Amino acid sequence: MKLVETKIKDVFIVEPDVFGDHRGFFMESYNKKKFEELGLTFDLIQDNHSLSAQVGVIRGLHFQNHPKAQTKIVRVLTGAIYDVAVDLRKGSPTFGEWVGVELSEDNKLQLVVPKGFAHGFCTLKPNTQVLYKVDEYYSQEHDSGILWNDPDLGIDWPTTDPILSEKDRKQPSFKDYVKQLETEYTEAG
């Protein structure tokens, strides 16, 4: 298992060791001890699994606010996605920047999306199944998001006409998210 850095600190690509032969392949998609040896020390407590039937489905950009923020490890079981993480960590030198990685059943890569990031993906193949592990339970009260095509973020999605949920169609802009952050910090003193 190998950890590859991305252009944003703390967002990593995991390259698992894959052992293939005439029967197919075997790999460890998660091994707590090996992840800890790589410096990834979080307690994963929930698996989430989605199926997107069509090409061009965008799910995101989603995150949970503090104190229920989540670290995610994302991988594709079938199909392929363009997976995106956006840095929302106030004070980070890469605040508002994003990184995108293709994850697929063929490359078997995984993306580690830490707390303090928005996450979303666009399907590149039909019937794409995505599995992601998280270190915090889902909390509707802390559930939040940002508009997938926000011009201030400038994410280079592989589609211009995505299939979206009503919720994702109506997410707030990045500017509105930043204003909300400033208001929360001002009110907190």
* Active-site hit among 22, 30, 49, 62: 62
Q: Which backbone phi and psi does 181 adopt, to 5 degrees?
A: -60, -45
What is this structure's pTM? 0.93
Give the separation between CA 189 and CA 59, rounded to whole angstroms. Answer: 35
Q: What is the per-residue pLDDT for 181?
A: 77
Q: Do you know the residue count of the chain?
A: 189
* Active-site hit among 66, 132, 138, 142: 132
Percent helix / strand / coil, the chain, rounded to 5? 15, 40, 45
Q: Beta strands 2-5 and 12-15: pairing type?
A: antiparallel
Q: What is the per-residue pLDDT for 58?
A: 99
Backbone dihedral region for residue 157 (phi beyond 0: left; psi -120 to 50: alpha; all else: beta): beta
- Residue 185 catalytic? no
Q: pLDDT confidence of 153, banded at 50, 70, 90?
A: very high
Reduced to 3 states (helix: H, G, I; strand: E, B; else coil), residue 164 is: coil
Q: pLDDT confidence of 69, banded at 50, 70, 90?
A: very high
87-120 pLDDT per residue, tens: 999 899 999 999 999 999 999 999 999 999 999 9
Number of neighbouring beta carbons within 10 Å of residue 81: 29
Tell me the average pLDDT across 120-146: 98
- The answer to whether the bond into 51 is cis (omega within 30° of 0) is no
Give the separation between CA 131 and CA 103, rounded to whole angstroms. Answer: 11
14-35 pLDDT per residue, tens: 999 999 999 999 999 999 999 9
Residue 1 has pLDDT above 70, yes or no: yes
Q: Which backbone phi and psi does 45 adopt, to 5 degrees?
A: -125, -5
**CB distance 100 to 58 below 8 Å:** no
Tell me the average pLDDT across 167-185: 87
Tell me the average pLDDT across 5-21: 96
- Residue 62 catalytic? yes
Q: What is the per-residue pLDDT for 184?
A: 58
Residue 188 has pLDDT above 50, yes or no: no
Please state the domain extents for the chain: 43-188
How high is the mean pLDDT of the chain?
Answer: 95
Tell me the average pLDDT across 83-90: 96
Q: What is the per-residue pLDDT for 182?
A: 74
Q: Does domain 43-188 have CATH number 2.60.120.10?
A: yes
Residue 187 has pLDDT above 60, yes or no: no
Q: What is the per-residue pLDDT for 173?
A: 97
Q: What is the per-residue pLDDT for 180?
A: 85
